[in-house]
Structures are given as structure tokens and as C-alpha cells.
Structure 1
Amino acid sequence: MFGSGSGDGVVVGEGGRYGGDHIDARDATFNGPFVAKGDFHQHAAAAPTAVDALPARVAGFTGRAGELGRLLDALEPSSDRGEATPPVLVAALSGLGGIGKTALAGEAAHRACGRGWFPGGVLFLDLHGYDDEPVSGEQALAALLRALGVEPKDIPVGMDQRAPLYRSRLAERGRERGAVLILADNASSPDQVLPLLPGDVRHRLLVTSRDKLPQLGARLLALDELTSGEAYELLDRAVRIADPADSRVEDEAGAAAELAAHCGHLPLALQIAAALLVLDSGKPVAELATELSEFRNRLDHLGDGKRSVRAAFDLSYRRLPREQARLLRLLALAPGPEVSNEVAAALVGPGAPPLRELEALARAHLVERGGRRGWWRLHDLVRVFGAGVVEGDAGLREEGAAARQRVLGFYSRWALAADNRLRWLPGRAEPERFADRGEALAWLDGERAGLVVAASWAREERFADTAVRLAACLGEYLHWRRHFDDWIIVGRAALEAPHGAGGRLSEAIAQNNLGIALRETGRVEEAVEAHNRARDLHQAAGDRHGETAAWSNLGLTLREAGRVEEAIDALARARRLFQAAKDRHGEATTWSNLGLTLREAGRVEEAIEALAHARRLFQAAKDRHGEAMTWNSLGRALRDAGLMEEAIEAHGRAPEILCEFEDWYRAGDAFHNLAFAHEHAHRPAEARVTYLRAADAYTRADAPAEAAQSRTRAEALE
């Protein structure tokens, strides 16, 4: 693929059927994965903030008065305390699965916000600590940085760089707006949480976990089961929310107490039991208590108090209509923590999304609404239950495998369409579904977690071919959004696929894409090895186009490793191969990368020639974004050569084009370079105005450090 990456080079991927200036894959047949080539053409708009992300209050929340008071005491601002009482930066709420930790944490957060304690907002993050793929501390930092408004491309790689930026952004938010509450739900290890500790004593971190996590140095609050009175009140309130005149719990207080006991006084099980009463308005409480007791006695022990929850699941599942029961089983097999209506439709088969069934499962408290409209999620205990039902029956295992295959087919089709849109150039055929780049990015952003998990199914022989093709479609997007951790996961899964999934060519493409991801995370020596393997495999397969892409990416990686002369040799070879193939766009990108590398080697005149030729080729290809980036690079080379007037002209061509594409960060860079050239040409007035334009562009890209630097240089010229 071609992609702008960090702005210092253009990466190349390969695969599929080569046919000149572009690849049209819609009618092609592939034996392995492929990566179409294209170019990034606009920068994403400035990332929005998400600091009012607190989920809605749980309807019918009751009890927990003592625990709620202690939790609020831990969250209380330090300004209201005496100097002898140090602030509590972290509160950790622990307890069994289904015991109501999230509901209590959410209630405490709502009350704290209602008291005005956190004017800076609330950051909410589900760490999925007990799922198959928990969120790592590094991934959590990336999510919180995006919520704080950091552009994905500006999120650094690695924990050591992300954590200081996160603390700095929190401190800045604290100065501007006030204290922030970070709610990290469902943690399973201190490693997930320690990077999230705020550096500013105004802020608070609230953690929920099934484990106590004493390593956090936190105020620890262990949550026990509800008291008998609280469990009774929860049941009564839940049925009265549905029908204020429903007095069955009050009328059968003894049976309600027995029912609550069978549920282990756990809120999740109690909510499911209440839903059974609501759905059957004529059922006596005593009858339900008897049924639940019978199911409980026949169930395997799950440990840690989960047996009662399992009994409630089993009884509810057996009472579901056939289509609802089938949907619940299949949802347990879905990739990712949340499921969109579209993915739910793919799971069940042809037809519209099963909205009625989803709504019914939500009313039964077996499915929860997701973070966005049209999205759904399962409590992890429900997911385990559903997967267990499938695993215990050969017919259901086949049903589940077929559903996963449908999801892979759905994802592969639309990931390819979105990928084609991201790579689209004027004059090419319009990709299906996505009208513009923004629509494609929005779909990929929403489905990212599921796409990554589904691509990881490549390790299973039944899904390998489709999953490897899906993995190949995600490279451009994951590179653009800088989700390099996900890209490495996807790349390694493609490499570990059974040998039948595309064979040698498949491995070559996976090695090439993995090499790009490794380079972007600073693992350049591993990346060099990956690109060398990709080149050798393409050569052995007789795939000249793939070999060319591998040479080009190897050149970029060697440059990053400081092996500049080797990089020049590799890029020159790639350029010759692109020329021989009459791939003008590939040739343009390689000339551009070669020019950057020649400049770094001090060969300025050659760099100017290479960049000027790249610019002409981009113009011929009608790639205005590539042209603009090359104008900016050419300006730097001309400046190195002491040709200030020519540098000013070159730099001046870039920013307006980049603004058209809303590529604000690179526009800021281009304006800053232009201002610098004006300054060195002794034009302080022009330099000052242009530095301010750079600051404005950087601000729109949500890059405050760069904006501040440009403003400082402008102020120095007043």
C-alpha cells in the first residue's frame, strides 16, 4: 500500500493482481491476502474530546448506602480536607462478577459530578480485564489520550512516551476546566491501571475489579453481596419500574427472600430474576423461586459465588423463544467487546438486523446496550455462559462456526470497500458503500475492535483464508490512525495462519505489513528483517510488484535505522523496478522518499532533483496531496542549498493544498517551514503572519505544543 505515515516517507504494500496504475479488486480472485495500493488524501479532522463519557445511571439502583458514602469520601476534592488528611488519588472497588461494582461506581460518579467536584469532566474506560484480550495499559493510555482530544497520529508509540503526555494533558485540563474523574471499569491487573494514575492531585482515578489490586496504593473498598433487605428492595423496585401496580414481591415477601437467596443476593442475578417476573406478569414469585432452585441444583459449580448467576442465566436461557436463544448463543461468539446491529445481522444470517430479539434480550437483562446507539454488549459472565452452551453441543458448535464465517465475510467485504475509499484517487472507479473518506473512517473506527479480533481468527484453519484477506485490508487504516499495536497483532496472526492460507505470497505480504508496523513502533531492526524476508519471498514467488514494494519499504526502514547509504541503494532499486513496471505513482512515491534520504545524506543537489521529479509525477497522476507533501520536502532541500527565494516558493505551494484536505497537522508544518524561510530571508512581517497561520493549523490539528512553538516565534518577531 502507499500511505503518508508520519510525513517523513511513503510506505508501500503489495499483493493481489497488478494491472498498471491501480488495482481493481472487485472482480478478482485471490488465493491469499492482498493490499491494494493508493495514497492518503486528507488528514482526519481534529480529534474531538470525550470528557463527558459517564454512562447513564442504572435504573432502579438501590441499597449500598454505606459503601456509597465511603466511596464518595474517597472522591471528595482535597480542597475540602484539612492539611493533615492527604488526598485519595485512587479508589479501587472490588468484588465478585455480577455484584454491582460498575453500577455503584457509576452512581458515585454521578453524585460526585452533581456536587460539582469534577468540572473538568469524566473519562470512562472499560478495560475488559476478564475478556480473552484485556486492554493493556498502553492501549488504555491511547484511548484516554484520544478522549482528551489528542489526534491519533500525535499519540506516541510506547508506554514511556504515552504516560507523560497523558499526565500533561490531564494537568492542562485541570488548569483550564478543573478536576477530572477517570473511571477505569473492569480491571484485572495493576499493569492495566498503574499507567493511568494522574500526576495532578486534583484528579481522581476510580477503578473497579474482581481483585483487590493492593499494588495501586489506593483506598480499597471491597463490595460484598447485598443484604437481604437490599436484595428485596432491588426486586421490588425492578418490577415496579415496569409496572407501578405490580405488588408481587411485597405480597410474597417470604418467597421473594427465598428467590433472592437463590440468586446469591448478587445484583446481576437479581435483575435477571426480576426480568423473568416482568416478562410473565402472572407468575407467582414462589413459582420462580422453586424453578430457580431446581436449575441451581443441576448446574456445575463455577466458583467464587458465580453459581447463582449461572443458575439465573440457565433458567432465563431455557425460557427464551428459539430465535432469541439462538441470537444469545451467537452474540457470545462475536468478535470485540461490543456488537453493532450490522454484525448482529451477519451472525444470524441473511436479513435485517434482529432488533426485536435484541430488545427482548435487553429487557431480560441478558444483553446490555452499548456505548453508542445501535450497539450491544454482553456482560462477560453472560458471554462465558453462552460460549459454554455452544461448546457443549456439536450441532451448536457448527452453527457457531458458520456464524463466525458470516461475520468474517461481512467484515472482509466492507473493510475492502473502506480500504478502497481510503486509497481512492480522482479518476478511479468509486468504491461501494462509502461516499467519502470520513464515512469509511467512521465505520472502521466503530468496528476496529471487532475487526482486529476477527483478523486474529486467521490462526484457525477454517477461517484462515478470509481472515488473512481481512488483515490485509486493515493496514492502511491502522497506519493512518496509528493503531500500531493492533497492526502488529493482525500482522502476526496472518503470519501464524495455516500454510494453506495463501502460501508463500501470503506470508510475504504479511511480513511486509508487519515490517511497517514494527518500524512505526521503533523496532527498526526487526522491521528490517521482516522486509528482507518479504523481499525474498516475493522473489521466490515470482511476484515482481511485491518485490518492488518490499524494496521500497526496506529503504524507508534502513533510513530510520541510520543506514542511509543502504537505504539509498534499496530505494534506487525500487525506483527502477517501478519504472520498468510503468507504475508512475509508485515511482513518484519512491522518488520522494529517495529525495528525503539523499537530503539526510547531505547530497542536497541530488535531493532537489529527485523531489522535483517526484512532484512532476504526482502532478501527472493528479495526486494533489502527494504533490503538496513533495513541495514541502522540496522547500527544505532548497533551503539547505541556500536558495531561499526558491524555498519560499516551494513551501508556499504546500499549505493551501493541505488545508483543502483538512490535513491540519501537515498544513501547520508547511506554514511553519514557510515562515522559517521568510525569517531567514529577512522578511519578519511575512514570517510573523505565517507563524500565526501555522499556529492556527496546529491548533485545529489539536497539536498544542507545536502551536505554542509557532506562536512563540511569531511573538519574537513583533
Structure 2
Amino acid sequence: MSGGGSAPDGFGELLRSLRLRAGHTQERLAHTAGVSVRTLVDLERGRTRGPQRHTVQALARALALDTADRGDLERVAAFGRPRSRPAAVPSGTLPLPRDLGDFTARTQALAHLRTLAERPPGDWAPVAIVAGQPGLGKSAFAVHAAHCLAPHYPDGQFAVDLLGMDERPADPREVLSRLLRALGVSERGVPHETQDRTGLFRSLIATRRLLLLLDNAADEDQLRPLLPGRGDSLTVITSRHALAGLECAHRVDLTLLHREESVELITRIIGAPRVAREARAARDLADLCGHLPLAVRIAGQRLAVRPQERLGKLVAQLTREESRLDALKAGNLEVRAAFALSYRRLPPAASTVLRRAALAAGPDFSPETAALLAGTTLRRARLCIEDLADRGLLQPHPETERYRFHDLLKLFATEQLADHDDPAALVGARHRTARWMLSRATAAALHFDADHCRARDGDPDPATAPTGREAARAWLEAERAQWLWALHHAQAAGWHREVIDTAEAMHWFSDRTQHWEQWVEVFRLAVTAARALGSRAEEAVHLNYLAWAYNMCTYDHHAALETAAAALAAARECGDPLQMGWALGYGAGALKRLGRTGEAIAWLRDSAACHRDNTTPQGRLAELTTLNTLGVVLRETGHAGQALAIHRSSEAICRAGIPGQSPDLLAVYHAATLHHLGCDLAALARWSEAEAALSRALTAFEAADMPAWSEPARLDLGIALHHLGRDEEARTTLAAAHRALTELNHPRYAEAAALLDGLPDATA
């Protein structure tokens, strides 16, 4: 317990100086504070040396004192109050641990605790919980906060390690004995029963102002007997558990450090000159430590004891994932050991889920993925994941039921796989997960299938299957990394038919999400699978899809042209006019974007010829696509009138309908044609007609939730509005288009920015 010493005689003198500084007479201050003039006179003359806290606080409010002056007044008053104290320092004294001189950041969290310390007197003593994952520096923060707040607690500060991660955490009965003895109770005066000890503890501190640090708590049952009841003492608890069952507690969130905070901690440990010489390496070092305070401190202290060693050397060591945890060790500080402490306390089912979840692809994972990898039920996986999140070993997403690892914790969990899991079991877990993911992904993607001729009832778990397009899209988006991993796994395992079927199911969905660069990867895998099966016809189909992806998703037009040529050769070999026409169309798109417009027009005319005699619904859609693309090339080469005529014929096809095709699909094609018509009319300076067509196209694309299509249409609409003199509408429309095109990484985002800059100043 800190605090103590002899009491100064200066309360009256301090009060008088503060009153005179504020310009108050004794009568005015007494009236404002609600005390008698006689009381005030006695206080200033030293006749009353230790006024009660409520009197001091009333005087502080009346004098409008700031935090520092209020604290000084309260401390001086506290020294004068009579209280029973032991004749000597008791054997049970519980001093605060040493504060860290290089403590960094945590300003907001400290401000939260300071607010509790400076709160007006209340009935119940506040309790603050500092919980979170291993390595966040919870104990270091709590100790630093206790030292900072010590002036607010003149009756002392106690610190107790509750040994929450030991095999036998501290018994609250024994902790209460130590606390009571620190408060001056003799050993014979400590009650026998835990409940009686709690009662005595609470009665003793009810009239005192103490700070109690309960470090490393095990659970709520251990803590409840140790918490004050009434009074103004503050209890700060640290724990690796969330302690969600602890009632009426304030929660202090510690997050990972920001990069600049991590670099600042390194700087405080090894010195500014050394960091300045290798500023980039210092930032890389912070990143490789995952901005986890323990890891950053270990890295800094490793460097501190090796003053000649360059930061870049440690960066190179940490870059190797397989040995990163080996390198994050300095003396008895070790990241791996901090994680192992929590891991050893896990129930077997939870430890299995933690290890197997490290196999999940992508930055986060769902309970379904964890259940598949762990070979358990979804219900049990959810329970284990929630337990792991409460222990700080997984981080829950704030909006959806998804979870993620800290990078270093994931490395630790991966290490445990090698130590605890049979290799054959891991192979089985990966196979099981990949097959389930491909089945779910295929069924979800078929919600967008334009032909409506393929079944969508192949989901591996109909009870949890997404229903409807919105839910299907949400699942495909959330699990994108996982089902893409499953495709790669399937190819490596030789499941070529599954790869092709999944990629084919994705075809129409990919058209709605063409801003996803991964489509190149998906269709390249399908091409490889088709070749492995010796299916030249399927190779032609997926080469065409791949050419589309190069053109529209990654804007690699040389690769698109080369791939379209390969698709054309495969389609000719198979005698497939539909795929020949598509290959010519995709090749033309690449040629146009490469500036070879004459060749592009020739390829498009050949494509239209391939489709003209194809009376199937697929042939009619292909012809519609080719005509629209031909019109675009003609417009962009200065033949807007010809383009308008071609797009009018495309609109007529849309209006007439295509037997066997869904109204939703035709609505999308009609919207694309309207967009082209709007651009043709704009090129002819027929701005009112252009605005009407573009507005209709935008509305249709938005209804279909196709941002890669709606945002270019929004940009063109903004241009039309500007030419119509409707600059405020144009500004709003162009600003929205610019934001969305930037998010989509669309090539036209710079055009939107330039148009916005060119608009007249709205304030002029």
C-alpha cells in the first residue's frame, strides 16, 4: 500500500489562498458552498484540519477549481482526517508493482479511468475491467494507470495478483485476509468465513478512498467477494477473460497499438537516433509484430541489448513466418509463452477448434468453416468459438458472425497443429471442408443462373443454406477466400469435374461482380481442369470466360486477346459456333482497348455472323451482346449515328423478348442497351434524350444490385446533367460515381474526379 507520512498543517492556508484567488469573501464562499461562515472561518484558521469529503467537494465546486487544484485540496484534507492506523507497516501490505518508464500510448483508456476517479461521490464504488487477448499489455496498463491515479486515492493503493492463469488461481478467502491485514486488521481479527471477511473488508473501505488493482483474474466467482460495495474506492481488474457476467462494471477496451504508437514504443526502448537511421525498418518491425504491445516490447528489448545490431536484421528474421515466434523472445519475455498460458487452460474441444480454425483461408472465418475443419457440429463449434472470443483468443467481427485471429496467435495455433493433430486427420479435414464449400458455393451461385435450367438444391446443408439472391450474394462475398481456396484444393486433389462445375455455376454471378479480380483465378483453374479431363469443348467455354475476366476484371488486354484466340481455336476444333462467336467478341473487346479499332470492328462483324443464324436463346443473347459492343466501337471512332442505329436494333430485340430467357436477365440486357443509347445520344449532343435513357439504365442496374454496371452509368448521367446546365444535380451524381468507382478500382474513377474538379464552384 502506498501513501502515508505525516500530515501537513496547510489545509486552511491552501483554502484561503484559493478563495482569495477566486475573489470571494468568506461570506460569499460559505453561501455558495452551503456551509456556515463559522465553519469556513474554523477551516481557514486551522481549527478543523480534516473536513469531510463532501465539504471539500462543495468548496471545490463553489471555487470552480480545476482537476489539479481539486486534487490538492482533497489530499491536504485527507491528511488531517483522524483514522485508526496500525502502529507499524502491516505484514500484509500490498504495494503497487513498478511502473514502466517507457510506457506508451493508451491515452483514451487512461482518460476513461481518470473519469471514474474524478466522478462525483456516489453510492457504489466503481469497478473497471481491462480484458483482452494475451499480449495486449493489460497488467502494464493497469499498473501505469494506478500510479497516475494515486493522487486521487490518498488512503492508499493495493495490488493483488489473482493468479488467474495458474493451475490453482488465488483463493478469494486468502486474498481477503491479505487485504484486511493491509488495512490494519490484526491477524487474530480476520474472520474465519469468506462471507464475513468480505463484509468486514467492505465496511472498512466504505469511508476510505482506495485504489484496488486485482490483476490476472480467473473468473467472476473469484472476483465477487473481493469487490467493494459502497464508497468512493476504485477497483481495476485485469483478466484474459471477458468477465461478461460481472455486473455493473465499466469496461476499458485496449486495442492493438497504431503503427506510430508501436514505433514510439520501440523508440523509447532503443533511442530516437537508432530508429531515425532505419525509419522504414522500424515501421516494418512494428507491422511484423502485429502491433501487439508484448511483441513490440520484446523486439525493442532484443535490440536494446544488442546496440550494434541493425533493425533490418531483426525484420528479416521476423519475415520468416515459420520462425517468427522463435525470434520474439527476450530473456523471460516470450510471445509464444504468453499464448501457451491461455492455450493450456482451454477445454479439449475449444483447443481443437482453435487449432483447426488456423487452417481457414482469408482474414476471417465463419462458425460453419470452424465446424467443418474441427469435425464437430455447428452448435458445438459456436459454443467453442464464443468461449475462445471471451478468452481473447479470437476477435469477433462487430457486425457479422465471423471471427479472426491476431497474426501471431494464428502462427501459434498453426504450430499446435503439428504437435497435436494427426496428419491424416488434417488431410481429411481439408477434404471435408473443400467439398462442402464447393457444394455450397455452387448452389449459391446458381441463384444467379440466367438459364434457370440447373438445379439449385445441391446445398450440403439445406437448413442453413442462403435463400434468395441477396442472401446467396452475401454468403459468396463473405466466404470468397474460403471457396476460392476450395477450388485450388480441388484442383490439387484431382477433382477436376467439381472445379469445372463450380466455375460454370459462377458464370452469371461473375457478371454482376466483375470488379472482383479473382475471376481470372477461378476461370484459369477451370481451363486447367478442362484440359486435365481432355474436354476441348469445356476448355473453349472457360477460355472465353477467362478472356472476359482479363478484359473486365484485371484490364490485362494483351492476355485477354491471347486467351480469346486460344478459345477461338478450341471452339473451331469442336465446331461450336456459339463459342466461336463469343471468342471473336472477347478478342474484339481486347483489340478495341489496345487501340486496334479497325481489327476490333472486323472481329465483331465476324462474331455477329456466327450468332446471326443461331436461333437458340443463348445465340440471341450472344448476338445482342455483340451488337452492343459493335455500337460502342463505332461511337468511339466517330460514328455515333451508326452506333445509335445498331443500339436501337438491340433495344428492339430486348423489347420483343427472347423465348426461354428470364425477365430479370432481359431487364439487365435492356439496361445495358439503354446505357449505350444514352452515350450515343450524348455523343450527338442530344442531351435531354441522353439524360432520360441514362436515368432508366441507372435505375435498372441499381435494382439488380450491379455496381460495376450502375456506377459508369451514373458517371455518364452526371455528364449529361452538366451539359443540361443542372450543375448541382451533376455535382451530387458525379461525387457519388467517383466514390463508388474508386471503391471498385474502376478505370473511370479518374475521369469522374476530373469532371468534378471542372464543375463551376458552387459557392461562386
State the 1:607 CA deviation: 1.4
1:694 aligns with 2:733: yes
Structure 1: how far apart are the matches of 2:565 and 2:712?
31
Contact kept? 2:530, 2:538, Cα under 8 Å:
no
Q: 1:573 aligns with which of 593, 606, 609?
A: 606
Contact kept? 1:555, 1:568, Cα under 8 Å:
yes
Contact kept? 1:509, 1:534, Cα under 8 Å:
yes
State the 1:543 CA deviation: 4.3
Could you say what secondary structure the match of 2:579 adopts?
Answer: helix
Stretches of structure 2 lacking an aligned partner (at least 5 in a row): 1-96, 108-132, 146-256, 264-281, 305-328, 460-464, 658-662, 743-748
Contact kept? 1:465, 1:502, Cα under 8 Å:
no
Superposition pairs of residues 40-189 of structure 1, within 5 angstroms: 65-66=100-101, 68-69=103-104
Structure 1 residues 697, 617: CA separation in 2 closer, same or farther (over 3 Å shift)? Answer: farther
1:404 aligns with 2:430: yes
Structure 2: how far apart are the matches of 1:264 and 1:669?
60
State the 1:424 CA deviation: 5.3
C-alpha offsets along residues 584-623 of structure 1, whole Å, 9 cap, x if unaligned? Answer: 3332222111110122233333312211112222334443
1:585 aligns with 2:621: yes
1:265 aligns with 2:291: no
Structure 1 residues 547, 408: CA separation in 2 closer, same or farther (over 3 Å shift)? Answer: farther
C-alpha offsets along residues 626-678 of structure 1, whole Å, 9 cap, x if unaligned? Answer: 32332232233234446566546544643444555565624522422432553
Aligned to 1:250: none
TM-score by length of 1: 0.52
1:628 aligns with 2:671: yes
Structure 2: how far apart are the matches of 1:183 and 1:555?
50
Aligned to 2:440: 414
State the 1:340 CA deviation: 0.6
C-alpha offsets along residues 338-383 of structure 1, whole Å, 9 cap, x if unaligned? Answer: 3211222333558534223444556777666567653344533234
Aligned to 1:153: none
Superposition pairs of residues 59-458 of structure 1, within 5 angstroms: 65-66=100-101, 68-69=103-104, 208-210=286-288, 222-224=299-301, 265-274=333-342, 276=344, 321=348, 327-328=353-354, 330-348=356-374, 351-353=377-379, 354-359=381-386, 369=396, 373-378=400-405, 379-389=409-419, 393=422, 396-397=423-424, 399-422=425-448, 433-458=465-490
Aligned to 1:514: 546
Structure 1 residues 485, 276: CA separation in 2 closer, same or farther (over 3 Å shift)? Answer: same
State the 1:551 CA deviation: 2.5
Could you say what secondary structure the match of 2:333 adopts?
Answer: coil
Could you say what secondary structure the match of 1:208 adopts?
Answer: helix
Stretches of structure 1 lacking an aligned partner (at least 5 in a row): 1-61, 74-98, 112-179, 187-203, 214-218, 228-260, 280-319, 679-683
Contact kept? 1:100, 1:268, Cα under 8 Å:
no
Structure 2: how far apart are the matches of 1:446 and 1:657?
25
Superposition pairs of residues 610-629 of structure 1, within 5 angstroms: 610-621=646-657, 622=663, 623-629=666-672
C-alpha offsets along residues 417-469 of structure 1, whole Å, 9 cap, x if unaligned? Answer: 33233455999998985455443332222112222322222441344443454
C-alpha offsets along residues 677-718 of structure 1, whole Å, 9 cap, x if unaligned? Answer: 53xxxxx4xx44652563475378476973783585465899
Could you say what secondary structure the match of 2:383 adopts?
Answer: helix
Structure 2: how far apart are the matches of 1:648 and 1:361?
55
Q: Structure 2 counterpart of 1:665, which letter? A: E
Q: Structure 2 counterpart of 1:599, which letter? A: R
C-alpha offsets along residues 82-135 of structure 1, whole Å, 9 cap, x if unaligned? Answer: xxxxxxxxxxxxxxxxx977769x989xx9xxxxxxxxxxxxxxxxxxxxxxxx
Structure 2: how far apart are the matches of 1:642 and 1:362?
60
Could you say what secondary structure the match of 2:595 adopts?
Answer: coil
Aligned to 1:24: none
C-alpha offsets along residues 277-315 of structure 1, whole Å, 9 cap, x if unaligned? Answer: 5x6xxxxxxxxxxxxxxxxxxxxxxxxxxxxxxxxxxxx
Structure 1: how far apart are the matches of 2:448 and 2:755?
32
Structure 2: how far apart are the matches of 1:471 and 1:599?
34
Contact kept? 1:275, 1:363, Cα under 8 Å:
no
Structure 1 residues 262, 223: CA separation in 2 closer, same or farther (over 3 Å shift)? Answer: closer
Could you say what secondary structure the match of 2:518 adopts?
Answer: helix
Could you say what secondary structure the match of 2:654 adopts?
Answer: helix
Could you say what secondary structure the match of 2:430 adopts?
Answer: helix
Could you say what secondary structure the match of 2:286 adopts?
Answer: strand
Structure 1: how far apart are the matches of 2:571 and 2:137?
54
Structure 2: how far apart are the matches of 1:206 and 1:435?
44
Contact kept? 2:547, 2:563, Cα under 8 Å:
yes
Aligned length: 453
C-alpha offsets along residues 11-47 of structure 1, whole Å, 9 cap, x if unaligned? Answer: xxxxxxxxxxxxxxxxxxxxxxxxxxxxxxxxxxxxx
Structure 1 residues 688, 559: CA separation in 2 closer, same or farther (over 3 Å shift)? Answer: same
Contact kept? 2:259, 2:286, Cα under 8 Å:
no
Structure 1: how far apart are the matches of 2:99 and 2:623?
67
Structure 1 residues 348, 659: CA separation in 2 closer, same or farther (over 3 Å shift)? Answer: closer
Identify which of structures 1 and 2 has the higher relative contact order when contacts are C-alpha pairs closer than 8 Å and 6+ apart: 1
TM-score by length of 2: 0.49
Structure 2: how far apart are the matches of 1:63 and 1:451?
51
Aligned to 1:529: 562
Q: Structure 1 counterpart of 2:471, which letter? A: E
Structure 1 residues 103, 575: CA separation in 2 closer, same or farther (over 3 Å shift)? Answer: farther
Could you say what secondary structure the match of 1:339 adopts?
Answer: coil
Structure 2: how far apart are the matches of 1:184 and 1:436?
46
Aligned to 1:22: none
State the 1:498 CA deviation: 8.9
Could you say what secondary structure the match of 2:487 adopts?
Answer: helix
Aligned to 1:562: 595
Structure 2: how far apart are the matches of 1:435 and 1:578?
35
Contact kept? 2:543, 2:563, Cα under 8 Å:
yes
Aligned to 2:711: 665
Contact kept? 1:390, 1:400, Cα under 8 Å:
no
Structure 2: how far apart are the matches of 1:670 and 1:332?
46
Q: In angstroms, what is the RMSD of aligned CA positions?
A: 5.0
Q: Structure 2 counterpart of 1:460, which letter? A: A
Q: Structure 2 counterpart of 1:504, which letter? A: R
4+ residue segments displaced more than 6 Å: 99-104, 182-186, 204-207, 363-366, 425-432, 702-705
Structure 2: how far apart are the matches of 1:375 and 1:716?
44
Q: Structure 2 counterpart of 1:265, which letter? A: L
Structure 2: how far apart are the matches of 1:615 and 1:570?
22
Structure 2: how far apart are the matches of 1:542 and 1:426?
25
Contact kept? 1:631, 1:650, Cα under 8 Å:
yes
